[in-house]
Amino acid sequence: MKKSAQVVAARHVLWLGWKLVILLSLSLCLLALFRLHSPPNYYSSSSSTSPHLDVLRRRGAGSRFAGTPKLAFLFLARRNLPLDFLWGSFFENADAANFSIYIHSEPGFVFDATTTRSRFFYGRQLRNSIQVGWGESSMIEAERLLFAAALEDPANQRLVLLSDSCVPLYNFSYIYSYLMASSRSFVDSFLDAKEGRYNPQMFPVIPKERWRKGSQWIALVRKHAEVVVDDEVVFPAFKKFCKRRPPVDASKGKLNTKLQKQHNCIPDEHFVQTLLSLNELDTELERRTVTYTSWNQSATKMDTKGWHPVTFDYANASPRQIQGIKKINHVYYETEFRTEWCRANLSSVPCFLFARKFSRGAAMRLLSEGVVGRFDASSLLDSTP
Ligand SMILES: *[C@@H]1O[C@H](CO)[C@@H](O)[C@H](O)[C@H]1NC(C)=O
Ligand SMILES: *[C@@H]1O[C@H](CO)[C@@H](O)[C@H](O)[C@H]1NC(C)=O
Ligand SMILES: *[C@@H]1O[C@H](CO)[C@@H](O)[C@H](O)[C@H]1NC(C)=O
Ligand SMILES: *[C@@H]1O[C@H](CO)[C@@H](O)[C@H](O)[C@H]1NC(C)=O
């Protein structure tokens, strides 16, 4: 009797043990299931941690902004703006209440009467600018600093990123109404199955099907600029896994073979496109750029730098050439067999508002042809430092 009681007691303990194990694994299963159904919300800006909440709240006013909406011009410059005389004339023909200017230049570079011919640029440099390596992730950081600065002003409803060699192809009011009329951003974004820049190590932050390529020169609506600035997940993955392969350097000898096998990636040709795609914002984009670049296709395949943008100089910036660019109304994306008919707010429009890369001579020619507005030679003489 005693013995059997002991056995029963032992069985009871065993049974309790089993129950505990089953209960534990059941709750673990449930927990796992729950986590599966609510994955961490990486990409929505609302998941930002508390330090950003103030900014988000302040910015929230931006979407309901009631005053005159501004177009923000964000210049990514190496140092000065060599085409300031053309831009000066362009802004001369604008309403001061309709635009704002931000410049990211090398740290310490100040825009004043000694460094620029146009008063519109005085003091417009960011104070927190960084040293930029062309084609490196610091370029994206600089872009983000520009967008962040512009978002501080709730009036900035459209934000266009430009380089120091960009020119406007129209007067201010044309460009303003074109960009304001569109509730979509203009972001060149396409799939390129042939290229090997996607780095599998980016998974799972960036799944391969979300990888996009496209021009760095973008025009964003405020909402999308916020996504770019608030991202805390995709950029670190880019910083780590999307790096430009260094050019062959004879002094490195045998190391070159190893370096040239390294993954090659140009961050600024992928970041915004991929980030917006991860946020499922592809449908809120016009998937093309508003900045024209002429590519020199005669550069050979052997050339490690690939195609080069052609620089326009006085001779090839003729009215006929410029008219030719302005007449373009569609873009063909070879890798996707996609023809993009250029539209803004559903109307057909010319594809390009800006163009790069322009020399001073070419910009001078645009100015004298009256491309950005009536040309008044005396204004140049007045403002020459
Ligand atoms: C601006 O350019 C557009 C199109 O080229 C033209 O129709 C318009 O008259 C110009 N406006 C001004 C103020 O020059
Ligand atoms: C400035 O903005 C107002 C309001 O959007 C608009 O009516 C006006 O045409 C703009 N001025 C220019 C020069 O584009
Ligand atoms: C877009 O076009 C529609 C129809 O032509 C027009 O009613 C609307 O005001 C336009 N939107 C903007 C933002 O200009
Ligand atoms: C295009 O590239 C080739 C070879 O690199 C060069 O010789 C030529 O001058 C370039 N053309 C233009 C228009 O830049």
Given this model, what pLDDT does residue 20 score? Answer: 62
Q: Which residue's alpha carbon is at the smallest distance from atom 14 of ligand 4?
A: 310
pLDDT digits (tens, 9 = 90+) for 350-375: 999 999 999 999 999 999 999 998 87
Q: What is the pLDDT averaged over residues 62-78? A: 90
For atom 7 of ligand 2, the residue with the nearest CA is 68
- Tell me what pLDDT residue 194 has: 73
Going by C-beta distance under 8 Å and a sequence separation of 6 or more, which residues neighbour residue 366?
Answer: 86, 167, 317, 322, 358, 372
Q: Is the pLDDT of residue 188 over 50?
A: yes
Residue to substitute in 169, 171, 178 for testing ligand 1 pocket (most ligand atoms within 8 angstroms of CB):
171
Identify the weakest region by mean pLDDT among 152-166, 209-223, 296-310: 296-310
CA neighbor of 182 nearest in space, from 226, 222, 227, 228: 222
Nearest-CA residue for ligand 2 atom 9 is 173
Q: Which atom of ligand 4 approaches the CA of 296 most closely? A: 1
The alpha carbon of 343 and the centre of ligand 2 are apart by a number of angstroms equal to 21
For the chain, how are helix, strand and coil distributed in percent, rounded to 5? 45, 15, 40
| Per-residue pLDDT tens digits for 47-59 | 334 444 445 545 6
- Report for 62-71, 109-118, 245-254: range of highest mean pLDDT: 109-118
* CB atoms closer than 10 angstroms to residue 281: 18
At 274 the pLDDT is 97
What is the pLDDT at residue 252?
A: 72
Residues in the ligand 2 pocket, defined by CB under 6 Å: 68-69, 94-95, 98, 172-173, 176
- Mean pLDDT calculated for residue range 88-117: 97
pLDDT at 313: 96
Between the CA of 255 and the centroid of ligand 4 the distance, in Å, is: 31
Q: How far is ligand 2, taken at its centre, from the CA of residue 349, in Å?
A: 19
> Does the pLDDT of residue 332 top 60, yes or no?
yes
Which ligand is closest to the CA of 308, given by its number?
A: 4
Sketch out the chain's domains with CATH numbers: 42-289 (3.90.550)
**Cβ–Cβ < 8 Å for 45, 230:** yes
Percent with pLDDT over 90 in the chain: 65
Question: What is the average pLDDT value for the chain, to the nearest integer?
Answer: 85
pLDDT score for 264: 84
